[in-house]
Structure 1
Amino acid sequence: MGHIIKTPAGTFRANWRDGTGRQKAKTFKTRKAAAAFLAETETAISRGGYVDPHAGRLPFGKYAERWRESRNDELATKARDGSILRTHVLPRWADVPLSRIDFLSVQSWISDLGTRRSPATVAECFRLLSSIMRAACRDRLIGANPCDGVKVPVRRKKDTDEQVLPRADLVSRLLPAVPDRYRALVALAGGTGLRWGECTGLRWDSLDLDAAAVTVVRVAVEVAGTVTMKPYPKSRAGRRTVPVPDFATELLAAHREAFPAGPRGEVFTNSSAGPLRRTLFRARVWRPSLVRAGLLGRVDKMGHFKWRAAWNDSEGIEWTAEFTTEREAIAHVAKMASGGLRFHDLRHSFATELVSRGVPVTDVQGVMGHERPSTTLNLYTHRSEGRDQRVRDAFADS
């Protein structure tokens, strides 16, 4: 049982033992306040909801580090969360005691962050803060999660969120514009819906050109510029066999003849037989290919040794510049133009085309490697070619 004693200073000290039997004490100005606190504390201990009033003095930064060290996440997840913590969360909360973080301070931080960062970034910052504070609740360091009920900015769809490349444009426009070494890679992604890591982690032992099928068993993971191989895909459903269309099969066969396999049988490597890095591929191969294909900006020949580059910035304003070589003009547009098709949009386009052609959603789910068919419908299916006319035909007079 707890008890109250009067101190020489005229205050009243409540004494009790916590759930582990350790002696605790807290001083109050009046006996009534001490008695009320003691009654509430003893009730919490008996119900298993006791929180040490002094535990919340621990700075958020120190607890966040303990939280990170206790996690068993994948390498890519650890790198992403670590970056968000260092860049956005810790600068605001590192030195603040856990018990001093309240609902209004979190809501104010989120609102301010929303004026400077995208809704997606704000959502990630909030997710991490909330996860850490939830763990602090479970450790009985604080009584409640101050993140509960905080309103996070809604992520609105942008024009670039639903970019779909028709199969005809993939084959006739984009693939011819991709350098020979990487043409089969783009064809595989566009013809099977494989993710970047699944494509770059592919080895020849998982590719059967005679059966026109590829089996996803491992993926490449890039963290801080270092590429490692993970011997299993993103999820259980990610381990799958996907049929390969004829145009991709032909390019893969040509690729095998023209370029040697990597040291472990990798299908796709860079010019030094090393692993492909996504950022470098995007800057040096992907975006210049979009420019050459007429899918990003424009490059026109104006005369001998004169090329005119045109592109739009993020505000939709068109800019132009002149160069003495086509290569310089293409590189400049690839660097300066806003938006543009992403490599992952090949996956979007693949799923959208399958659904629009009447392939059952469960079959699309299987080749995409999704756990649930709702994921396929919600994330990767967009407006298909001829939709408006089909809707009109459905209500046309007979």
Structure 2
Amino acid sequence: MPERYRALVALAGGAGLRWGECVGLTWDAIDLEKTAIRVGRVGIEVAGHVTFKPYPKTRAGRRVVPLPPFVVKLLRAHRKLVPPGPAGEVFTNEAGGPLRRTVFRAWIWRPALVRAGLLGKVVQVEPRVWRASWRDRDGNEVIEEFPNRRVARARVSRMAQGGLRFHDLRHSYATWLVSDGVPINDVARVMGHEQISTTLDRYTHAFGAGAEKVRDSFADFPLTFEADEDESGP
């Protein structure tokens, strides 16, 4: 991921923010000393134009989210690297304007997936030949060769189907919390879910390992029932 956007990705994966919440975030909502952020302002993109609302779509969306150390570190570096936007926005494009999700996906996100080996594959097969491979809409593998790595990666980025979505970082965040035993009501709160049932429906699949922890917690439980030798009957 280009350095300019590393804190953006970290915030989605390490604090569970939605895209619009990241785009609308301003520096006055971040307390790096207390390692927390106030989520409220959101960016909304319609027909390629980004506008901002001072509040999310639900009351639960207004929340305070704790920040893990790696997110704090990247935000500090980002503040030194990138000037704030007109209203103090944390994340802007290279011209200082609002980030557009469609542009970010095409020019930043998907190329980064290719470089990370998470979308298609690009390998050098000869001194001036790079082979690119990816899956098309029907799941068939497509292979083409190019004169340099940059062109090969760009082709995979445009043509490959599927791949990790930016929103999947938010899902990963919630899954990590549930898997690590964070109470489901706390997970719902930091995710901004209005109904705890939403959290349960989406993330209880991550409870597999948690179920084993529950069993282990009772492994040495002293309460046992043994039939009295003098007892009779069923």
C-alpha deviation, 1:234, in angstroms: 1.9
Checking the alignment, whether the CA contact within 8 Å between 1:347 and 1:380 is kept in structure 2 is no
The question of whether the paired residues in 1 share the 8 Å contact of 2:12 and 2:169 is answered with yes
SS for the counterpart of 1:321 is strand
TM-score normalised by L of structure 2: 0.87
8 Å Cα contact 1:218/1:230 also seen in 2: yes
3-state SS of 1:215 partner: strand
Equivalent pair of 2:178/2:203 in contact (CA under 8 Å): no
1:278 lines up with 2:69 in the alignment: no
Structure 1: gaps (5+ residues): 1-177
Q: For residues 335 and 380 of structure 1, what CA distance do their matches in structure 2 show?
A: 31
Measured in 1, the distance between the counterparts of 2:2 and 2:93 equals 12
In structure 2, how many angstroms separate the alpha carbons of the residues matched to 1:358 and 1:214?
22
Indicate the residue corresponding to 1:299 in structure 2: 122
SS of 1:362 mapped into structure 2? helix
Give, in whole Å, the separation in 2 of the partners of 1:382 and 1:283.
31
Query: Does 2:126 match 1:311?
Result: no
User: d(CA) in 1 for partners of 2:28 and 2:188?
Assistant: 24
Paired AA for residue 367 in structure 1: V
Q: Any residues of structure 2 matched to 1:49-60 within 5 Å, and which?
A: none
| Cα distance change, pair 388–191 in 1 and its aligned pair in 2 (3 A) | closer
Q: 1:381 to 1:279 in 2, by over 3 A?
A: farther
Q: Determine the C-alpha separation between the residues in 2 that align with 1:320 and 1:389.
A: 44
What is the CA distance between 1:380 and its match in structure 2? Answer: 4.2
Equivalent position of 1:242 in the other structure: 65
Q: Give the whole-Å Cα distance in 1 for the aligned partners of 2:211 and 2:38.
A: 38
* Matched letter for residue 237 of structure 1: A
Query: Post-superposition shift, 1:389?
Result: 9.6
Shift of 1:263: 1.3
Instruction: Assess, with a 3 A threshold, how the Cα gap between structure 1 residues 229 and 314 changes in structure 2: closer, same or farther.
Output: same
For residue 172 of structure 2, give the secondary structure of its aligned residue in structure 1.
Answer: helix
> Paired residue for 1:179?
2
Among candidates 177, 180, 191, match of residue 354 of structure 1: 177
SS at match of 1:221: strand
Q: Which runs of 5+ in 2 are unaligned?
A: 221-234
The CA deviation at 1:378 is 1.3
What letter matches 1:225 in structure 2?
G
Find the aligned partners of 1:188 and 1:362 in 2 and give their Cα distance: 21
Q: Give the Cα–Cα distance (whole angstroms) in 2 for the partners of residues 356 and 300 of structure 1.
A: 36
Q: CA deviation at 1:353?
A: 0.9
Give the SS at the match of 2:83.
Answer: coil
Instruction: Tell me whether 1:214 sits opposite 2:214 in the alignment.
Output: no
Q: Which structure carries more helix by proportion?
A: 1
Give the deviation of 1:381 after TM superposition: 4.7
Q: Distance in 2 between matches of 1:210 and 1:252?
A: 12
Seen in structure 2, the aligned counterparts of structure 1 residues 278 and 316 have a Cα distance that, compared at 3 Å, is same
SS at match of 1:342: coil
Is it true that 1:267 corresponds to 2:77 in the alignment? no
- Alpha-carbon distance in structure 2 between the residues aligned to 1:281 and 1:366: 28
Q: Which residue of 2 aligns with 1:129?
A: none
Shift of 1:249: 0.9
Query: Root-mean-square deviation (CA), in Å?
Result: 2.0
**Structure 2 residue 76 is the aligned partner of structure 1 residue 253:** yes
Secondary structure class of the residue paired with 1:378: helix
The match for 1:225 is 48
In the TM superposition, what are the counterparts of 1:32-51 in structure 2 within 5 Å?
none
- 136, 153, 167: which is aligned to 1:344? 167
**Paired positions, count:** 217
- Alpha-carbon distance between aligned partners in 2 of 1:354 and 1:230, rounded to the nearest angstrom: 28
- How far does the alpha carbon of each residue in 1:280-302 deviate from its partner, in whole angstroms, 9 at most, with x for none? 11111111111111111111122
